Structure 1
Amino acid sequence: MKKHFKFIIFSIVYICTTILLTKSITTSLLNSEISSLEKKLDQIVQEIKDGNRTRSTYTELQIFTDDNKVPEDVQNVFKGSAHSNAIIDGNLYVSTPLTVNGKTKEVIRIGEKLNVNPSIFELIFIYSAVIYLFILFYYLNNKSSNDREISEINKIIARFHKNPYQELRVDSQSDPILDSVNNYSSQVYAILNDKNQQIDNILKLINTLDFPVFIYDDQGSLITSNGSFKLEFPHATNISYFKNQIEFLNFLVSNLVDSNDIQGEFYFEDIDKYFQVKISNIDNLHGNYIVSMLDVSEPIKAKISQDNFIANVSHELKTPLTSIIGFSDAITTHNISQKQVHEFSLIIKKEAERLENLVNDTLKLTKNNIKIQKTEVQANEVVDDILSKFYFQIEEKKLHIDKRLRNIYFLTNYDLFYGIAKNIIENAIFYTKNNGRIYISLNDDNDNVYLTVKDNGIGISIVDQERIFERFYRVDEARSTTTNGTGLGLAIVKHNAKYLNARISMISKLDLGTKITIIFPK
C-alpha cells in the first residue's frame, strides 16, 4: 500500500515538473524574441533621430499619436513605459516612444511573426510521456521483487534497532541489492563491534584506577564514573553539582566550547583536598569527555605547611633574639646601675631559654624516619618526674594537683612518651588560672594505657579546637607570651602520638577548662 502511494506521489510530482518545465521553456523563448525585437526597434528610432533615414523607409513601422483609440500596448507607452509588447494573431508587436524635447509626441510600433514553434511543446510532452511510461513499466515489472527486497530490508532495520551490535543478514537468493545490504550490514557490524569493544576497554580501565575519573557529555550529564569518584562525590550526576566550586565548573564548561586537552589544579573545600585535573577528548567516546582527578593534597599541603612553618619559626626566633640584642646593647653601651645589669641579664637568660626551647622543639618536629626503640617504661614515675620540674610554677600559681596514678609499666619509646606527657601537663599548668585545679590520671586495661590531664583553665573554643594541634597555633596570644611557650607543644604531642600509634581525645569548653586523654597501645 505504501509502495502504491509513493508511486502516485511520484507521478503527481513528475507531471507538475513537466508542466513547469514546459512553461519555463516557453517563457524563455518568448523573452528572447521580445528582447531581439526591442533592440531592432531602438536601432530604428535612433536612425530616425539621427536623420540617416526617413520614416517612410521602414514599411513595417506603425506610428501612433496620442489618441484614445490606439491599442492597449501603445497606450502603455504614452503612459510612460519605455517599451511595451503584445501578441496579436500569432504576431509579436513591440512599441517605444519617439520624444521631442523630453515629451512623447508619437509612439512607434514594429511587429513580426512569432517564431516560438508549438511543436516544441508537443515534443516535450511526448518525450516526458515516454519516460513516464518506461518508469511505469519498470515499476510494474519489478514490483514483486522490490516488495521482497523492501520487506527484507525493513526486517534488518527493525532488528538493528532492537540490537545494533548484532550482525544482521538476510537470504539474498543471489539478489544483487540484498547482497549489497548483507555486505553493508557486515561492515557496520564490524565497525560498531570494534567501537563498542574499545569503549568497554576504556570503561574497564577507568574502574581499575584508584583515583577519581568520570565521563560527561556536551549537556553536562555524567555518563559514568569509577568507584573513587563516587567515594569522593557520591551525589554528583551532572557537572552542575560543582556549582559551589565555580572555578572547577567553569573549567569543565570551557571544554565544551574549546575541545582541547586541558588541565588545572583545584582545591575542593568540602573534602579538603587538592586535585590535579585533566580533561581528555577521546574519539571513541563519541564526543564525550573523560576527566581524571589526581589527588595531590599531600605534597601541596606539605609545601603549604613547610612555608608556614618557616615563616612562623622566623617570626618566633626574631622575638627572643630582638630582646637579647636589645638588652645586651643596653648593658654594653649604656651607663646603667648594677641592679639594672642584673635585671637585664635575667631577661636575656629568660629569652635565651625560650630560644633554646624553640630550637629544641623545632628539631623534634622536623625529625623524619624516627627509629622507634621501645623499652619498658614506668609511666607513673615519668608523670611524677615532669611534675617535679614544674614545682616552682605550680607553687607560684598556687595550683592544686589531684593525681590518681596507677603503677603502670608498658612497652613504649621513653622520649616520645615523655614529650607527650610533658607538653599536655605543661599546657595545663600554664593555662590554668591562679588557685586552679589540675586532675591527672593514669590507668590501663588489657590493650591500652590511658593518660588524662584535666584543668579548669581558659578552655578552647570549638573553632580553635580544629587547629589547636597545628604548629605555632595559640589559643590566647597574649597569655602565651607570658608563659615562655613556643606554640609547638600540642604539635609535638600530635607528632609523637603518630609514631607511637597513640590516639588523642580532647573535650574543652571556653572559660571552663580542657580535658585531654592520650590512649597508648600496649
Structure 2
Amino acid sequence: MIFNQRSHQRNSRIILIVCIVIGISISGYFVRQLIHRSILQPLETRAEIQAEFLEDVGMNAKNFSEVELNIEPFKRPDSAESVVLKDGEVIWDDFAERTRLQTVRQQLKDFPKDKVSSKVYLNGYVVYTPIEANDGTYQLVKYYKKSLFQDQLDDFYLWMAVIIFLILLLIYLVYRYMINFVTKPIEAINLAVEHIEDDQYQFEYIRGNLPVIDNLGTNISTLKQELKTKRGDLNASEQRLSLLMGHLNLGVVLISNSGKIELINSEAMQLLNIDIHTTQRSFQAVIKSYVLVDMINEALKTHQPLSNHIELYIPTSKFIDVNIIPFGKSPDEIESILVLLYDITQVRRLETVRTEFVANASHELRTPVTAIKGFAETLLDGALKQPELAEKFITIIANESNRLETIISDILELSRVEKKSEPMVVKPFEVVETVNNLIQFFYKQADKKHISISVDAERPVMMKADQHRIEQIFTNLIDNAINYSDVDSEVKINIEQVNNSVHFSVSDKGIGIPKADQERIFERFYRVDKGRSRNSGGTGLGLSIVRNLIMNMNGTIHVESEVGIGTTFHIKLPLE
C-alpha cells in the first residue's frame, strides 16, 4: 500500500493545528501593531513634544524644579507617572509607588539611549525619551496604566476575536478544500492500490484540478491496466504450465538448495509412488529410492549435472531414466536442482521383446532352412539315384519351403498390422454368412481329425468393417482350434449382436492352455508346447496377428481355457 490511511488522517489534523496556530500568531501580530499605532505611537509623540519643550527652556538640574512647575502634563497625576534621570540618578519623579519606580529604572538598560521608544511593561506602557540639555543628556520616562486605555483595548480585543474567527474560518475552508480536492483523490488512489494488491482492477481515476494528483491518478490507472494485462498473461502462463506439467509423460521435481521440494508434477508422484502433499518437505523424507536420493545429494554437493538409468521397486519394478540439472546464478552458487524422470520400462520391455523376436525368428527360420539344406546335400551326395528316397526328400524340401514361406509371410503380415501400413477397406457385410462361407475351406482339414465345425447365431448380423480382416481373424482362430483339438471333437463358433457391438467366440475341446501361459499366448513366436506347435505347422505368429487386428478395429479379445477340457476365445468388436 502506498498510503497509510490513519497516518494520512493524523498528518491532516497536524497540518490543520499548525495552520490554526499560525493564524492565531498572525492575528496577535496585527493586534500588537494596532495597539502600537493607536496607543504607544501617540504617547511617544507626546513624550517627544515634552522633551523638545524642556530642551527649549534650557532645562538643567538646578532649574528643573522650576521648569516642571510650568509644564501642564506633569501636573496630571491621573494621566501618567514620570521620572527624569541623569546618568542613572533621579532628578525628579512623581511615582506614587517607589517599588515601581525602581523596577522602571532597572528596565532602562533595555531601551535605546538615543531615540524615543516604548514598551508594554508592569501592566502598563513605559515611554522613554532622551532630552539634550546644556549640561548633558537627561532621560524622561513616563509610565501609563493600561486602565487609562481600557475602552480602546476592549475594541482591539474585539477586533482581534473577529480577525481570529475570520482566519480560522478561512483555514477551515482551505482545509475542506484540501480534503475535497487533495485528500479525497489521494484516498481514492490509496484505495485503488489496495484493490490492486488484492487483484481487483475496477479503479478508474476521474481527473480534477490538481495536475500533480491527476498525474499520479493517471499513472495508477495506467499501471492498473498494465498489471491487469500482465496478471492475465501470468495466469494464462500458469494454466499452460499446469496443463503441461499435468499431462507431461515426464516426471519433474524441483528441489531447492536446502533440500526442500518446491515443485512436483503428477507423473513424478506416480513414478515415485507418492500420494501425499510434498511441497516444502525434504526430498529425503519423500523419495523412497536410496539410489535416487544419493544422486540428488551428489548433485547438491558437486553442483554437476548427473544422468543414469536406475531401477525402482516402488511398488513394482520400474526402469527410470534420471537426469539431474543444477542451476543458479553461477556454477558455484546453485539455487535449485531440476530432477527429470522418464519411465523407460516399456522401452526395456520392447528391447527384450525385440531381442526375443530376433532370436525366435532366427530359430524358426533356421529350422526349415536347415532341413532344406540337409536334404538337398543328401540328394547331391547320391540320393537322386534312388527314386523313392529322392521323391521323399524332395517332398520334405517342398514342405519346408512352404513352411518357410508361411513364416516369412506371417512376419511381414504382423509387421504391416502393427504399423497399420495398409488402410482398412470398410464396407457393410453380413457376418454370419461370411463365417459360414469361410469354414468351408476348413472342412478338408477338419475331416482328417473327424472334427465338426458349427456356427451358432440367432439372427443375421450386419457389420461395417474390413471384411478381409474379419476373415483373417477367424482363419487364424479356427486353424488353431483344429490344430490343437483331439480327434473326434468339435469346434463351435458363436455370433451375437449386443447393442452396438458384436460378440464372437471360438471354442474347441482340445488340449487347453495352462494358466501360467494364458497371458503370453499373444506374444510373437510364443508356444505352449513347442514340439506339438511345429508338428501342427504353426508359426507362432497367428494369435499375435489376431490381437493386433482386433486392437486396430477398437475391439477386445481374451481367452478362457482349462487343460484337458478346451479353449474359448472371446472377441468383442463395434458394429461400425
TM-score bracket, shorter-length normalisation: 0.5 to 0.7
Instruction: Quote the residue 2:433 is aligned against.
Output: 381
Q: Say if 1:381 and 1:328 are closer, same or farther in 2 by CA, change over 3 A.
A: farther
How far does residue 340 in structure 1 lie from its aligned partner after superposition?
2.0
| Alignment equivalent of 1:343, drawn from 386, 392, 398 | 392
| Match status 1:521 vs 2:574 | yes
Q: How many Å separate the matches in 1 of 2:326 and 2:524?
A: 44
Aligned to 2:403: 354
State how far apart, in whole Å, the 1-side matches of 2:286 and 2:564 are: 41
Contact 1:240/1:249 (<8 A) preserved: no
1:236-257: CA deviations, max 9, x gaps? 66557765x6654554454355
Give the RMSD, CA atoms, in angstroms: 3.4
Q: How far did residue 225 of structure 1 move?
A: 1.7
**Shift in alpha-carbon separation, 1:249–1:423, aligned structure 2, 3 A:** farther
Amino acid at match of 1:308: E
- Does residue 265 in structure 1 map to residue 313 in structure 2? no
User: Could you say what secondary structure the match of 2:340 adopts?
Assistant: strand
Q: In 2, Cα distance between the equivalents of 1:255 and 1:510?
A: 56
Moved more, 385-394 or 233-242: 233-242
1:213 aligned partner:
252
Partner in structure 2 of residue 444 of structure 1: 497
Equivalence map 1:104-503=2 (5 Å): 205=241, 208-209=244-245, 210=248, 211-216=250-255, 224-235=263-274, 247-248=291-292, 250-255=294-299, 257-266=301-310, 274-283=319-328, 289-296=337-344, 301-335=349-383, 337-367=386-416, 368=419, 369-405=421-457, 406-503=459-556
TM-score by structure 2 length?
A: 0.50
Equivalent AA in structure 1 for residue 406 of structure 2: N
**2-side partners of 1:342 and 1:386: how far apart?**
34
Q: Give the letter aligned to residue 235 of structure 1.
A: I
Gaps of 5+ in 2: 1-196, 198-233
1:485 positional shift = 0.6
Q: Secondary structure at the match of 1:508?
A: strand
Q: How many residues align?
A: 323
Q: Decide which structure has the larger Cα Rg and report it.
A: 2
Distance 2:285 2:441 in 1: 60
User: Distance in 2 between the 1:257 and 1:461 partners?
Assistant: 54
Shift of 1:423: 1.2
Q: Whole-Å Cα distance in 2 between the matches of residues 220 and 510 of structure 1?
A: 57
C-alpha spacing 1:233/1:386, structure 2 compared with 1 (3 Å): farther
In the other structure, the counterpart of 1:64 is none
Aligned partners of 2:524 and 2:540 also within 8 Å:
yes
Q: CA 1:246–1:404 in structure 2 vs 1: closer, same or farther (change >3 Å)?
A: farther
Rounded Cα–Cα distance in structure 1 between residues aligned with 2:294 and 2:495: 55
| One-letter identity of the residue aligned with 1:364 | E
Compute the displacement of 1:395 (Å). Answer: 2.0
TM-superposed deviation, 1:292: 1.4
Q: How much does 1:318 deviate?
A: 1.0
Q: 1:386 to 1:203 in 2, by over 3 A?
A: closer
Distance 1:488 1:475 in 2: 13
Residue 383 (structure 1) shift: 2.5
Deviation at 1:366, TM superposition (A): 1.2
Shift of 1:502: 1.6
Structure 1 residues not aligned, in runs of 5+: 1-165, 167-197
Q: Could you tell me how far 1:414 is from its partner in structure 2? A: 2.1
- Give the C-alpha shift of residue 322 in structure 1: 0.9
Structure 1 residue 287, shift from structure 2 partner = 5.9
